[in-house]
A = this chain, B = another copy of it.
Amino acid sequence: MKIVVDAMGGDYAPKAIVEGVIDAINEFSVNIVLVGDQEAIEKELANYKYPKDKIEIVHTDEAIGMNEPATTSIRKKKNSSISVGIKLLKEPGYNAFVSAGNTGAVVAASTIFLGMMDGVERPAIGLVIPTLKKFAFLIDVGANTEPKSQHLVQSAQMARVYAREVLGVQDPKVGLVNIGSEETKGTGFEKETYKMMEEKVTNFVGNVEANEVFSGKSDCIVCNGFVGNIIIKTSEGLMESAATLLRREIKKSPIALLGALLMKSRLNHIKKHADYSEYGGAPLLGVNGVVMISHGRSSPKAIKNAIKATISEVEHNIIESMVKEISG
């Protein structure tokens, strides 16, 4: 299996990317194609011992910045690591693409160069999130901020396949994010989507309020990309604020500091469970190829785990399975 990795994407590229790739080839049975500035990549690779035949480099002299406008940058920078990397998937022997770069640009390039899979009209980004039970799959966290109801139905169907094949959940339950549990709740959009999901989505369990997202009540949690972004960012911000507050309070009391030290191993256990980088990146679903988006702040571990999740997607032929689920 050969996975194409964007060496120039993310806040710590190419250093963190190359380190993650080295860890991946040491742990998993996979070949990597690093796309980006050859000199910069080789300089990083020189720090490691590794089987040379497992990594190849495809040189590009352009990279898209984290804050460049997505579609314009794809149109203007024909030779960017994102565009070149994604186009490789059209050639035989390249199985998937991983990038921690500009999310909008990855979505745009994937849509333009790979096209949509049969039966899906719009791309959606999923995210594996920790819950009180185990994991849930939240979709969409930002690709499509103004979807139509049928786009959410298609996302739900793709999410079921992802949860089943990659997360190993049998007959995954699907919930729709809404502001109340009754089917009459929400705006016209949620009401219409609810009806359509009842008809077309297997094991649809109804509305899920935002306070139930982390409860494990539902395996696949479907919402528009705006709401998904709000859920993820609210969670991130709240956890960061709570940690800051905790550190601030502990500093005020030596006894509390001792208490924190005694709790450390259990707290680390929770931290590990809550850490997104443990589960790899966020799969871009709906396009005609396996594309994984990693957080811009991805550490080498996050990159390694994104590659691990991508391997699992390829092994389970998820695109084929998704097309099958959607065509009924």
Interface residues of A (CB under 8 A from B): 67, 69, 131-132, 142, 145-146, 177, 179, 182, 184, 186-188, 209-215, 225-227, 229-242, 244-246, 249-250, 252-253, 255-256, 258-267, 269-270, 273-274
The answer, among B237, B240, B259, B269, for a CB contact under 8 Å with A259, is B259
In the complex with contacts A132-B245, A245-B270, A265-B253, A212-B237 CB distance below 8 A:
yes
Q: Which residues of B contact A188 (CB under 8 A)?
A: 146
Bound Cα distance A246, B142 (Å): 30
> Smallest CB–CB gap between A204 and chain B, Å?
20
Cα–Cα, bound, A182→B104 (Å): 14
Contacts of A249 on B, CB cut-off 8 Å?
266-267, 269-270
Q: Can you name 7 A-B pairs with beta carbons within 8 Å?
A: A186-B226, A210-B230, A211-B240, A214-B238, A239-B242, A256-B266, A260-B263
> What is the count of identical protomers in the complex?
2
Cα of A267 to Cα of B256 in the assembled complex, Å: 9
Counting chain B CB atoms within 10 Å of each CB, the highest count among A179, A239, A261 belongs to A179
Minimal Cβ-Cβ distance residue in B for A254: B262
Taken together as a complex, chains A and B put the C-alpha atoms of A262 and B254 apart, in Å, by 10
A132 to B177: give the CA distance in the assembly, Å. Answer: 28
The residue of chain B having its C-beta at the shortest distance from the C-beta of A252 within the complex is B266
Is there an interface contact between A235 and B238, defined as CB atoms closer than 8 Å? yes
* A226 and B132 contact, CB distance less than 8 A: no
Are B230 and A179 within 8 A (Cβ)?
yes
Q: Chain B residues with Cβ under 8 A from A177's Cβ?
A: 230
